[in-house]
Amino acid sequence: MNTSEIKKLIISSLDASADTIEVARKLEEEGVSFNFSQNFGDRVLTKLFSAGLSVSREVEFIKYMNFAFYRIALTGVAAIVILIISIFLMEGSLSINSFLGLSDNYDESIVCLLTGN
């Protein structure tokens, strides 16, 4: 097959009605083939089974981390909600001052507190 025939074949593979299996076969005949290197399978098995223990440990670790993350995140959210409710109940509002605990303090009383007078 010459270059223009190959190009036509490639374009025709995208026709909705194309016989794609036939196109793939023809292209493979023309040298368009993809393969992994020799002993690819052996390398996969070596990676899987010699490193199996460490890989499974890694997987277990990730699972535990995910679990721990959800527990910590949920506890954190619950604590924040409780804090907001308690501030609202104590201060009667959710202003920035009430969050910072400044709502009942006046400048004079802070000066007295700091200077001792």
Partner 1 sequence: MMNNSYGVTKEKELIEASLNGDKNAFGEIVTRYQKMVARTVKGMLGDSVFAEDIGQEVFIKLYYSLSEFRGEAKLSTYIQKIAVNLTLNEIKRRKRFFTLFSQKANDEMYAFEIADQDTEERREASEIVNKALMAMDPKFRIIVTMRMLQGYSTKETAEILNLPIGTVLSRLSRAQEQLRNILLNL
Q: Which residues bind partner 1 (CB under 8 A)?
A: 1, 3, 6-7, 10-11, 13-16, 18, 20-25, 27, 30-37, 40-45, 47-49, 55, 59
Q: CA angle, 107 as apex, 101 and 109 as ends, to 5°?
A: 85
Residue closer to partner 1 by CB (options 36, 106) is 36
CB of 60 to partner 1, least distance (A): 11
Q: Residue 59 and residue 66: Cα distance in Å, rounded?
A: 11
Residue closer to partner 1 by CB (options 58, 82) is 58
